[in-house]
Amino acid sequence: MEILVYGAGALGSLVGGLLARTHDVTLVGRDPHMRRIREDGLRIDGAVDARVRPRALTDGTHRSADLALVTTKAYDTDAAARALATGEYDAVCSLQNGLTEERLVAALDATVLAGTASYGACIAEPGRVTCTGVGEVVVGSLSGGPDPFADRIGAAFDAAGIDATVATDMPRRRYEKLAVNAGINGPSALSRLQNGATLDGPAAEVSRAAARETARVARADGVDLADEAAVAALDRVATDTAANRSSMHQDVVAGRRTEVDAIYGAVTERAARHEVAAPTCRTLSALLRAWERGRGLRGEK
């Protein structure tokens, strides 16, 4: 299968690199990472070891492939959509944080699928990505139910040795992923804790409250996600990735813009729309946005 990975940072490079063991893969990312991959190939180490030579580009416009995987930061979704709209793809699948798929649907003619990826990854140096935890990829129809494109993509991941699930309940899984992100990212970033420590100390109640609030918003949005299920997913992911630093934790340490809008903004905006209380997510959102504003990473909003 021809696959383009748009936004080949840590996760995109890892997933794209693993797919390149079997498939024709093009990575679209930034230099110097892309330049080093063009020169020497991509090295994957850590929990998985591989060396592959995917194409590596910095311009993702006017391309074509069977599948485009979107792995950019959520705040770059619109830019990714504009670039992908200049090309031709049978299907586009988001593996991003937050609820970004609707923005892709609005901009693209291709079938847009929802997805999740629970692999842990970090760029150790240009041209080398470290897998910090082996997980799985889940893909499925954005509205739920069976989808032939999702079946095809799941088979492609399986062929490359990536544990993949084709799900018919992606609306629930999207909110479950959002609950996990809300429970881990903000508390771990603000307290500078590894994922596991967010549920093993004073931050635990904040983390679980954020997950429960997300579940309440999901139900108000017509998605059946119980509080207990959201908290169980949070506990499972935090335990499985206990030694990892969340993406938001890494962003704060590096002084970069975070995905606060895509995670906590998604929860609080939908909570306001449905008149559901989400005080924990609202507080985490305010603190993270205040930090970004203090660092000159955002305007007044």
* Cβ atoms within 10 Å, residue 243: 12
Has residue 158 been placed in a domain?
yes
User: Domain for residue 300, yes or no?
Assistant: no
pLDDT digits (tens, 9 = 90+) for 220-261: 999 999 999 999 999 999 998 999 999 999 999 999 999 999
The strand pairing partners of 122, in sequence order, are 130
Q: Are 79 and 72 in contact (CB under 8 A)?
A: yes
In a domain, 301, yes or no: no
pLDDT at residue 301 is higher than 90: no
Q: Can you spell out the DSSP letters for 8-30?
A: -SHHHHHHHHHHTTTSEEEEE--
For residue range 184-219, list pLDDT tens digits in order: 999 999 999 999 999 988 999 999 999 999 999 999
| Neighbour-count burial for 77-116, b at 16+ CB within 10 Å, e otherwise | beebbebbeebebbbbbbbbbbbbbebbeebbebbbbbbb
> What is the torsion angle, in degrees rounded to the nearest 10, for the CA atoms of residue 147, residue 153, residue 154 and residue 159?
150
Three-state SS at 118: coil
- Residue 253 in tokens: 């340490």
Q: What is the CATH number of the domain that holds 109?
A: 3.40.50.720
Catalytic residues: 177
Within this chain, do residues 119 and 176 fall inside the same structural domain, yes or no?
no
For the stretch 95-134, pLDDT in tens is 999 999 999 999 999 999 999 999 989 999 999 999 998 9
Q: Quick one: 111 and 160 in the same domain?
A: yes
> What pTM, to 2 d.p., does this model score?
0.93
Is the predicted pLDDT of residue 6 greater than 90, yes or no?
yes
Averaged over 39-49, what is the pLDDT? 97
- As for how many domains the chain has, the answer is 2
